């Protein structure tokens, strides 16, 4: 699936050292976006703790960056070490919603899940979160309504040499983009 990002935007994996950028992104979410992301109201301390957990075993986070600032993210969290089940969660700041960012992030999460042998990927959202439901349907997810929440289940295909190569290539470009962003910030600061 070919998706386009807003001009100047890039998507890449977040590294453990970028937990603060992730925290800052989550803290910038407006009230409604934060509620949708965490299926309810959460405080700043909870968000800070959650952002630090990106270094946990098996967690993969992709970020949408615009001008070097993290504006959207997608998480892949396995149910446990070496588990075949995982959960995906998404957060995009209000000005960049409905611009295709979620589609690109979900595509990357599906590739990461596939390459890690995940056989069942769940995405939970509130029943009124139509954007998330539409995104899940776009990728042929099975939607189940459960006590005011919606659970979307996706069955990623098995990994192949080509899917592994694609992720490794994207990771390489991600490192290059991260280095260029850091250099750009240093030049602007100096």
Q: Helices 130-138 and 101-115: crossing angle, nearest 10°?
A: 50
* The token pair that represents 180 in the structure block: 């260029």
Give the pTM.
Answer: 0.83
Considering the domain delimited by 9-189, tell me its CATH architecture.
3-Layer(aba) Sandwich (3.40)
> How confident is the model at residue 45, as a pLDDT?
96
> How confident is the model at residue 145, as a pLDDT?
67
> How confident is the model at residue 151, as a pLDDT?
67
CA separation (Å) from 180 to 6, 65, 81, 168?
19, 12, 34, 19
Q: Where are the domains of the chain?
A: 9-189
167 closest CA partner among 114, 124, 119, 117: 114
9 closest CA partner among 64, 62, 61: 64
* The token pair that represents 51 in the structure block: 């952002």
Low-confidence stretches of the chain (pLDDT beneath 50): 1-2
């Amino acid at each position: 699936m070919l998706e386009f990002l807003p001009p100047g935007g890039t998507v890449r994996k977040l590294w453990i050292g970028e937990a603060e950028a992730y925290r800052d992104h989550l803290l910038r979410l407006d009230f409604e976006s934060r509620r949708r992301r965490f299926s309810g109201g959460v405080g700043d301390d909870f968000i800070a703790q959650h952002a630090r957990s990106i270094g946990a075993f098996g967690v993969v986070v992709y970020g949408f960056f615009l001008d070097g600032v993290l504006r959207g993210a997608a998480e892949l969290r396995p149910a446990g070490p070496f588990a075949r089940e995982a959960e995906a969660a998404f957060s995009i700041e209000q000005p960049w919603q409905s611009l295709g960012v979620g589609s690109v992030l979900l595509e990357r999460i599906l590739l990461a899940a596939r390459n890690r042998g995940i056989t069942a990927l769940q995405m939970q959202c509130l029943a009124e979160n139509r954007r998330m439901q539409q995104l899940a349907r776009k990728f042929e997810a099975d939607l189940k309504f459960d006590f005011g929440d919606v659970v979307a289940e996706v069955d990623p295909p098995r990994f192949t040499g080509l899917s592994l190569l694609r992720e490794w290539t994207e990771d390489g470009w991600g490192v290059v983009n991260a280095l260029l962003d850091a250099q750009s910030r240093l030049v602007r600061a100096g």
